Amino acid sequence: MLQDFILPDLGEGIHEGEILEVHVAAGDAVKEGDVVLVVETDKAAVELPSPYTGTVLEIRVGVGDVVHVGEVMIVYEVSNGKEAGAEKTKKEKTAPPEKEKMKPPAAVGASAKKQGPVPASPATRRLARELGVDLHDVSGSGPGGLVTSEDVRAYAKTPQKGVDVEAETSKAEAILEPPPSPTLPDFSKMGPVEQVPLRSIRKVIARKMALSWSQIPHVSHQDQADITDLEKIRKQNQKEVEEHHGKLTLTVFALKAAAAALEAFPRFNSSLDMERGEIIIKKYCHIGVATDTERGLVVPVIRDVNHKDMLELARELSQISQKAREAKLGLEETTGGTFTITNIGSIGGTGFQPIINFPEVAILGLGRARWQPVVSFSGKNDEFSLEPRLMLPLVLAFDHRVLDGAEAARFVNDVKETLERPSRMLFFEQ
C-alpha cells in the first residue's frame, strides 16, 4: 500500500520549511520513528521521523527545497502489518457504529463529542475559532491524534457546517498577512546584479516584520539607566556564575527587570484581538530574547522569567542562546513569548528602533552602555557635582492601540529603577 509523507503542521505560524538534510534514498527500508528529513523553519531545525514502517519508493524533495505544509515529501510502500493497521484505523475513523448511523446528524454530533483538551497548535486553534469549528468535533490526523490546520479546514467544508471555508480562510489570512509588495523594475538593465533567493528564515523574517509594521502603530519611548553599580555587581559575580555553567550578561539583568515591570504593568504582557475587540492579558511571563545567528535573527523564549532567580536565568539564557546559534532549538523553545528583549549593545550604535514581535504589544531594546559625565544636584546646599557614570540607552517600542505614552514612561521608569538598584535582584536561591 502506498502512503505519502507530507510536511505536517509544525506549530504556531509555521507554513513552510527548507530541507536541510535527506537521510534516506529510494529503496531504503525504514522503521516508524527513524529520522528521514531535517527541515529548517523560522523557529528551528526540526528532525522529522518517518510516520510509517516500509520501503521508500520516491523522494520528492532535495536539500535546499522549500516545502509548504501539506506537500508530499516522500512516498512509501508500507509493509503488510502497517497496512492492516492503517486500514483498521481508517475504518474506525470513517465507519460509525450501527446505532450511531440510525441517529439524526444533530444527535450523532452531541453524543460523539469528545471531552477534555484537544491536542492542537496555537495556529490551529486560532484557525478553528475563525472558522467557527469546535476542535472536539474534529478527528486529528497528526501524531497522537494531533489536530492540524488541514483537519480543521477539511471539517469546515462538510455540508452540515454550512461554512464557506474558502471565504472564511481568506478572511482570516487577510487579517494576518501584510499587503502585497509592488513590482520592482528590472535592475539588470542598469548594471550587473546578483539574485539571492529569499528563503528559509530570512523569508519568514521579511514576512513577519512587514506584518508587524503594517498592523501595529509603533511608538517609542527612550531613556537612559545608570548601571554603574550594576556593572560592579556583574563583574564581582560573573566567575561564580560561570562555575554554575552560566554567563552573567547585561541581558540577564534586563530579563529580571522586565519581568518585574510586566508584573507591575500587565497590559505590556498582552495581545490585541481586533476581531473580538479584546485585549488578552497573559498571566504568564515568557520573554523572548532576540539572538543574532548566521541564519538570521532568532528569538528563543525563556519561560516563567518572573519565577526564576538570577542564576537560573544566567544558565538558561547561555544555553538557549548557544542552541539558537547552532540551529538546535526545539519548537517549544521558540513559541509562546509574551514580550521581547533585544540587545545590540555588544555591536555598537547610539540608538535604534526595534520592531514589535507580533502579536506581542511591546519590545525593549538595549543599546551600548557608555561612560558619560553626569551632573548631580544636591538639594541641601543647591550644589552641583559632575562625575562619570555608566549609562545604558533604553528604548521601548509599544503598540499605541493598547498602550499610551504615559504608561510607557512608567514602565521604563520601573525597569530603570530595578537596573539602578541591582540589590533588588537576588542572585541565588537561599
| pLDDT tens digits along 281-304 | 999 999 999 999 888 889 999 999
Strands 16-22 and 66-68: antiparallel
The pLDDT of residue 138 is 87
- What are 298-327's pLDDT values in tens digits? 999 999 999 999 999 999 999 999 999 988
Catalytically active residues, by annotation: 400
- What are 245-271's pLDDT values in tens digits? 999 999 999 999 999 999 999 999 999
Q: What class, spelled out in words, does domain 111-177 have in CATH?
A: few secondary structures
pLDDT at position 169 over 60: no
DSSP, collapsed to helix, strand or coil, labels residue 151 as: helix
Residue matched to cell numbers 553599580: 229
Smallest CA-to-CA distance from 219 within 415, 414, 366, 401 is with 401
- What is the pTM assigned to this prediction? 0.68
pLDDT at position 417 over 50: yes
As annotated, the residues of the chain forming the CATH 4.10.320.10 domain(s) are 111-177
Q: What class, spelled out in words, does domain 218-424 have in CATH?
A: alpha beta
Element spanning 125, H or E: helix 122-131
Average pLDDT for 9-26: 80
Q: What class, spelled out in words, does domain 1-95 have in CATH?
A: mainly beta
Helical segments of 244-368, H only:
250-264, 310-325
Q: Which residue has the higher pLDDT, 97 or 234?
A: 234
**Per-chain mean pLDDT for the chain:** 82
As annotated, the residues of the chain forming the CATH 3.30.559.10 domain(s) are 218-424
Q: Which residue has the higher pLDDT, 359 or 171?
A: 359
Q: Which residue has the higher pLDDT, 6 or 178?
A: 6
As annotated, the residues of the chain forming the CATH 2.40.50.100 domain(s) are 1-95
